[in-house]
Amino acid sequence: MSGNSVTDCSYPASADLDVWSRHEWRDGIQVDMLPDLERLAVRTRNSLYEITVLSARTAEVLVRGGQFFPTYTPASLAGSSLGGSFLKQRGIYVGFRMELHHDSQSIVTTEVRSIERIHDHGQH
């Protein structure tokens, strides 16, 4: 027997690809399934983000909120994660963190608490 030993390792279930791929993906929205110019209000643990979808197909958005987006700023919504290496591309889900890309930077929010569509008053 060699000097190598096998030890049990524990890791969060979210780090398991099988668990991630079987997740039901409720309580969220896929930006690439929305119409262009759809507006969303996304409340995270620390901030409120206002998001306007410029191109649903590419997940290009205008975003305002949090410390990194004090004014409407063009960005792309990479998706949602639990802070690990798995990303639900172009999705925003309650309990997950949004990942936005702007000026070659990745901005990861705190956990999403709610997602609402913003409807302009007076439109039918």
Distance from C-alpha of 16 to C-alpha of 11, rounded to nearest angstrom: 8
Which tokens sit at 108? 């990861």
Residue type, 121: H
Q: Which residues of the chain have pLDDT under 50?
A: 1-2, 5-11, 13-17, 20, 123-124
Give the pLDDT of residue 25.
55
Q: What are phi and psi of 6, to 5 degrees?
A: -100, 130
Distance from C-alpha of 94 to C-alpha of 92, rounded to nearest angstrom: 7
Q: What are phi and psi of 13, to 5 degrees?
A: -60, -30
Specify the DSSP element, H or E, that contains 21: helix 17-22
Give the pLDDT of residue 18.
53
Which tokens sit at 78? 């990479």
Q: Burial level of 50, CB count in 10 A (0-12/13-18/19+)?
A: middle
Give the pLDDT of residue 120.
74
Query: How are beta strands 48-55 and 39-44 bridged, if at all?
Result: antiparallel
